[in-house]
Structure 1
Amino acid sequence: MRTIKTSSGINISYQDSGELAAPVIILIMGLGAQLTVWPDELYYGLVNNGFRVIRFDNRDTGLSSQLGQLGNPNLFKIWLSKRLPVASHIPYTLDDMANDVLELMAALKIKKAHLVGASMGGMIAQLIAAQNKKKVLSLTSIMSSSTKPKLSAASLKLFIQLAKHRPRRENRDSAIHYNIKLNQLIGSPAYPQDEQTLRKQATLGVDRAHNPQGFYRQLAAIAASDCRQHLMPKIKAPTLVIHGSSDPVMPVAAGKQTAHQIRKAKLKIVNGMGHDFPPALMAKMTKWISKHVKKAEQKRALKKNKR
């Protein structure tokens, strides 16, 4: 694992695999999730398909800087401040996290890249694609949204269920147990993973790094950021939107809306997929992303030849 330091003093831990001269794919992970949540089958599958692939820990996650000095945000106050003139403490925004990606690219001397973002990572990738068009060759938005998450009956039920399993004490065993329950609740109904597999994944994650307060600061970043609907038409990069039909966190309507708002975006709805990366789908997802990126590369080559 390697590390770069941003201009704001934040350490970003990353993994960089594949030929240096190959087209670059940057994987941007979601809320509170470490780079290891990107399945190895997908990560190395893309590398084996001829790409240079980078995955990294967002700030406040994994081995990147943990920003406890920024304090614990009051999510209710942040929500209220977007509707009423109420002051609230916001540790950082999604734009700050998008800037981390740009600084990572600059440090690695990457001028242009294909961005693949999952959940919150999709939101970050959308921001970069809309505001830094020349740096983005293609966009893949997975189980994400162009708006703020809305409270629905399904999401409220999910939050209540998660609250029941929230650790009363912060220790290794309770963190592992909570992670297992979380993934069971948000997982894919058509592709369930057995508890032994989920326990192994949870244990590896907790033992690598455990920063529960970082989750809330990232959640505050989502809550404090504006909707991106007005930015979606500005995205010119070829876009692929992948969304599960059974996603309990981001309803499938969010994926459809995102694809509708981005010109010529392609939408792939995966039946029975939830808000996770089912092992049974990783070979297909690797194929979908590889095909999308290769088409974008061909388009780029044609433009160069015309010039």
Structure 2
Amino acid sequence: MLMPVVRRMSWWMVLGWMALGGVALRAEIASTTESPFDRYPIHFTTVNETAIAYQDMGPRDGEAVLLIMGLGAQMLHWGDTLVQGLLDSGYRVVLLDNRDAGLSQKFYALSAPPVWWTLVRAKVGFTPEPAYRLQDMAADAVGVLDTLNIRQAHIVGASMGGMIAQVLTAEYPQRVLTLTSIMSSSGAPHLTESKTEAISALALGAKSDIGRELELANRVTIARTIGSPDYFSEDYARQLAVRVLNRGSYGPGTVRQFQAILASGDRSRLLGSIDVPALVIHGESDPLLPPDHGRDTADKIPGAQFVAIAGMGHALEPEVSRRVLAAMLPFWDESRSQSGLDVSEDEMGPVEAGTSIGSAPL
């Protein structure tokens, strides 16, 4: 009975149905590949007289995860794979741009000496007097939680973000469900130094006023030099760099953040005071903060678990992010079952929300 019906259909009807089907298929594909960063608006809040940009993703009643990124990086550097993986697991994901990076406030009037000069002075024992400290950046992150009335969250930091997360956990333990420190360090002086090529690449990220194409090339070079040798993709590195540059970049901010790291010094004693479930993840091929930085961090946090990822450098490429999720999600489940984590609704009272600027493809 079907064939006569098909024969009576005009060709334009058939082609129209095919076109509609193609549109629907494309829409379905787009809905599954759209970046989570494009699905949620960007907001601002003022913390310590500093404007901080953040995004709040996922269910309001999900356990909150606060992601803090590293030196000169933006929240985009967490990548779609890791963020979408958290959302798919039912978590409420909160991300921020650290001060002096991304869309957060820049401290234009403050000095930013060259990276090489800062390093030379540090080598001969001169601790830089930073424009701000890691403690200030930790307070910024807590301020975002305050804005959202989030009483407690899983705190996750990468690289410098891991250092900020360590400080936050030690100084605001009542706000922390768990700590995850990724490709970070205790700052202890005896640890293996960064490879020379990694430091040189890092210095590229502090350059400014060099033109978009050169900055794009520099960012790809950085990703290749310090990234994961087993998982590096030139296409992925370039696509991410384009999205980051479309959002903006600011080299002097990277220098000031670097000064804050150096001024933080050895956090060994601080790590020993941490009393929440902690997970330390580190790449076995990290040229910027070699693997002993991760092992040392885990050794100094009481009861911390340590996970080494083979082939991971100092970046979160999609395949690396899958391995990070494979370590992090079971750790949170285990911590919840063992300690009965209290993730009830907050009772902090109203806090004035940040100002939304909407979302746009980046």
TM over 0.5: yes
Q: 2:75 aligns with which of 32, 35, 41?
A: 35
- Tell me the secondary structure at the aligned position of residue 39 of structure 1: helix
2:213 aligned with 1:201: no
Q: 1:265 aligns with which of 289, 294, 304?
A: 304
User: Scaled by the length of structure 1, what TM-score is found?
Assistant: 0.89
2:152 aligned with 1:117: no
User: Scaled by the length of structure 2, what TM-score is found?
Assistant: 0.77
Deviation at 1:74, TM superposition (A): 6.2
| Aligned-partner Cα distance in 1 for 2:53–2:107 | 14
Q: Deviations along 1:174-216, whole A, 9 cap, x unmatched?
A: 11010000000001111121x2322111111111111111100
| Aligned-partner Cα distance in 1 for 2:210–2:298 | 40
Q: Pick which of 15-24 and 172-181 moved more.
A: 15-24
Give the aligned residue type for 1:218: Q
Residue 239 of structure 1 aligns with which residue? 278
Q: Deviations along 1:97-149, whole A, 9 cap, x unmatched?
A: 11101111111111111101000000010111112211111011100001157
> Against the structure 1 CA distance between its residues 92 and 108, is the aligned structure 2 distance closer, same or farther, given a 3 Å change threshold?
same
- Tell me the secondary structure at the aligned position of residue 195 of structure 2: helix
Deviation at 1:301, TM superposition (A): 2.4
Give the aligned residue type for 2:81: E
Residue 217 of structure 1 aligns with which residue? 256
Is the 1:79–1:223 Cα contact (8 Å) retained in structure 2?
no
| Aligned-partner Cα distance in 1 for 2:257–2:204 | 22
* Aligned Cα root-mean-square deviation (Å): 2.6
Deviation at 1:151, TM superposition (A): 8.7
- What runs of 5+ residues in structure 2 fail to find an aligned partner? 1-41, 344-362
2:105 aligned with 1:69: no
Give the aligned residue type for 1:244: G
Residue 175 of structure 2 aligns with which residue? 135
1:163-174 superposed matches below 5 A: 170-174=210-214
Residue 3 of structure 1 aligns with which residue? 44
Residue 220 of structure 2 aligns with which residue? 180
Q: Pick which of 291-300 and 102-111 moved more.
A: 291-300
> Against the structure 1 CA distance between its residues 25 and 145, is the aligned structure 2 distance closer, same or farther, given a 3 Å change threshold?
same
Is the 1:73–1:90 Cα contact (8 Å) retained in structure 2?
no
| Aligned-partner Cα distance in 1 for 2:59–2:251 | 35
Is the 1:180–1:199 Cα contact (8 Å) retained in structure 2?
yes
Deviation at 1:162, TM superposition (A): 6.0
Give me the identity figure in percent. 36
Deviation at 1:80, TM superposition (A): 4.1
| Aligned-partner Cα distance in 1 for 2:342–2:221 | 49
> Against the structure 1 CA distance between its residues 302 and 27, is the aligned structure 2 distance closer, same or farther, given a 3 Å change threshold?
closer
Residue 147 of structure 1 aligns with which residue? 187
> Against the structure 1 CA distance between its residues 302 and 41, is the aligned structure 2 distance closer, same or farther, given a 3 Å change threshold?
closer
Deviation at 1:155, TM superposition (A): 1.9
Q: Deviations along 1:255-301, whole A, 9 cap, x unmatched?
A: 01111111111111011110001212322322322222222223342
Q: Which of the pair has more CA radius of gyration? A: 2
Is the 2:118–2:259 Cα contact (8 Å) retained in structure 1?
no
Is the 1:78–1:88 Cα contact (8 Å) retained in structure 2?
no
Deviation at 1:43, TM superposition (A): 0.6
| Aligned-partner Cα distance in 2 for 1:20–1:261 | 34
| Aligned-partner Cα distance in 2 for 1:167–1:73 | 11
Give the aligned residue type for 2:77: V
Residue 252 of structure 1 aligns with which residue? 291
Q: 2:98 aligns with which of 58, 79, 104?
A: 58
> Against the structure 1 CA distance between its residues 171 and 281, is the aligned structure 2 distance closer, same or farther, given a 3 Å change threshold?
same
Q: Pick which of 99-108 and 162-171 moved more.
A: 162-171
2:141 aligned with 1:101: yes
2:332 aligned with 1:301: no
| Aligned-partner Cα distance in 1 for 2:102–2:133 | 18
2:89 aligned with 1:49: yes
Residue 285 of structure 1 aligns with which residue? 324
- Tell me the secondary structure at the aligned position of residue 70 of structure 1: coil
Task: Give the total of aligned pairs.
Answer: 301
Deviation at 1:159, TM superposition (A): 2.8
Is the 2:128–2:259 Cα contact (8 Å) retained in structure 1?
no
Is the 2:128–2:263 Cα contact (8 Å) retained in structure 1?
no
Deviation at 1:303, TM superposition (A): 8.2
